Structure 1
Amino acid sequence: MTETYTILIVGRGRLAAELLHGLQGPGIGSVLPWDERTAAGDGPCMVVHAGSGRELGDVFDFCGARGTVLLDLSTAGTRYPAEPGFPLVVCPNVNMIMLSFMAMVRQAAGYFRGLDIAISESHQAAKKTSPGTAVHLATSLGVPAAVIRSERDPQVQREVIGIPEKFLDRHAYHDIVIRDEQVEIRMQTRVLGKTAYATGLARVIGIVSSRRPSPGCHDIVDLILGDA
């Protein structure tokens, strides 16, 4: 029998609002904002951090006291406890196609060690946080995060990258180029418009529930690879 969780959403931005109003699926009972966490009672719950980080101290205390799983969707330089006493799952992305791509890159990374690898990304100009997906890809490929090329200029996004005008305010683009003197391999991802964050997160919650990770820090891509 599938265990049913109360999901607590931390954050006040657009992503948090989308999750509060759209998150549903097997194993998901009620979905509550962090401020209403007392309504969760003592039953099983998971915490989803989709905020700026201001409330992380309280979140860590809550999860530590209850042993509650924390899914961190906001991975922009977050400082985690050295040894979390609860399962902390880092989720730089919750789109399942993108997570599968990230898992594929991690599995194949060893074949490209020593080659020239360039990574670039583009998001809407309003994005001020670190590009978590690009950093994850860079880490998998052994590329320093500092050399990731980030683009936030709408004119360049439209005229050079080819992002349609109507998606300039909501898109995610990643470009990986692997080359030597004679061969070039290019891998691109484009996410245009409002993605299925709630649907993807529901599947992530299902994976985490089935894997039952131990206390400590986990990468959602590792859990997906283990679930494959």
Structure 2
Amino acid sequence: MKVFVVGSGKLASAMLSAKATFQNCDLIPWESAFQHASEQAIILHCGSGRQIAECIMFCEQTASTFIELSTGLETEHLTPDFPLVICPNTSMLMLKTMAMLGQFGKQFKDYNITLTESHQAAKQTEPGTAYNLANSLGFPVEQIISVRDQETQSAEIAIPDDFLGKHAYHKIVIQDGNDALTIETKVLGHASYAAGVRQIIDLVLNKNLENRRYNILEFMQ
């Protein structure tokens, strides 16, 4: 199965660099000319959204599956006539944590909660994982603490210098008086994302998907 990788950022580069590890599919950088192709494939979108219209056209005419790795884009609200899989994260460990909180997070909505997220300074899209965690906990997204300052990331969050430009950190603290529960996640680099995308593609290939929008967390249950 051909997998067209759409985007030119770090995540897209990480996917293409790891293409040899994708045993049952062929990763190919997207080109605008492909929107007129007739062969069914998978769209792996990790771009800014500039090429979404081309990708949608391709999926509509070929009944191909669209896997969305970017956050905060129009695809999150699309009602498609092809399978669309929204991925707020691709680290399997993180996705399973998110699925767990999605099922039980509302149990903590009446407690004092703080939610902190940190990503590389270059990140301009909304923190989709943090938004998902907040919604699962019944926590206002506008109260999420976002850290982009490298000095703070290094000194207070202990992000190694080598990963200041490519990391994802989330910390949830739930307090009840003197009692506290802390959930802390730290993803350094993109290696786990490539491994996660391989598993996501396998899930997609092994499911008979309907023409609708899915959240990848549905596959974690």
Structure 2 length as normaliser, TM-score? 0.90
* DSSP 3-state at the match of 2:156: helix
- Do structure 1's residue 124 and structure 2's residue 156 form an aligned pair? no
**2-structure distance, mates of 1:37, 1:110:** 46
Aligned mates of 1:189, 1:40 — CA distance in 2: 41
Please tell me whether residue 183 in structure 1 is matched to residue 179 in structure 2.
Answer: yes
Q: Is 1:91 matched up with 2:90? A: no
1:103 and 1:86, CA in 2 relative to 1: closer, same or farther beyond 3 A?
same
Change (3 A) 1:91 1:203: same
Deviation at 1:39, TM superposition (A): 10
Match of 1:139 in 2: 135
Q: Which runs of 5+ in 2 are unaligned?
A: none
Q: How far is the alpha carbon of 1:122 from its aligned partner?
A: 0.6
Query: Which residue identity does 1:219 align to in structure 2?
Result: N
Matches within 5 A, 1:1-228: 5-23=1-19, 24-28=21-25, 30-35=26-31, 38=34, 42-75=38-71, 77-80=72-75, 82-225=78-221
Distance in structure 2 (CA, Å) of the matches to 1:55 and 1:40: 14
Q: Which segment drifts farther, 108-117 or 30-39?
A: 30-39
Q: CA RMSD in A?
A: 2.0
Q: Distance in 1 between matches of 2:80 and 2:217?
A: 19
| Displacement of 1:167 | 2.1
1:208·1:223 contact (CA, 8 Å) conserved in 2? no
Preserved contact between residue 121 and residue 175 of structure 1 (Cα < 8 Å):
yes
Q: CA deviation at 1:36?
A: 6.8
Alignment TM-score, normalising by the size of structure 1: 0.88
- Residue segments in structure 1 that go unaligned for 5+ positions in a row: none
How many residues are paired up? 219
2:64 and 2:6 map into 1 onto residues whose CA distance is 14
d(CA) in 2 for partners of 1:63, 1:8:
11
| Residue identity (%) | 37
- Greater shift, 210-219 or 189-198, is seen at 189-198
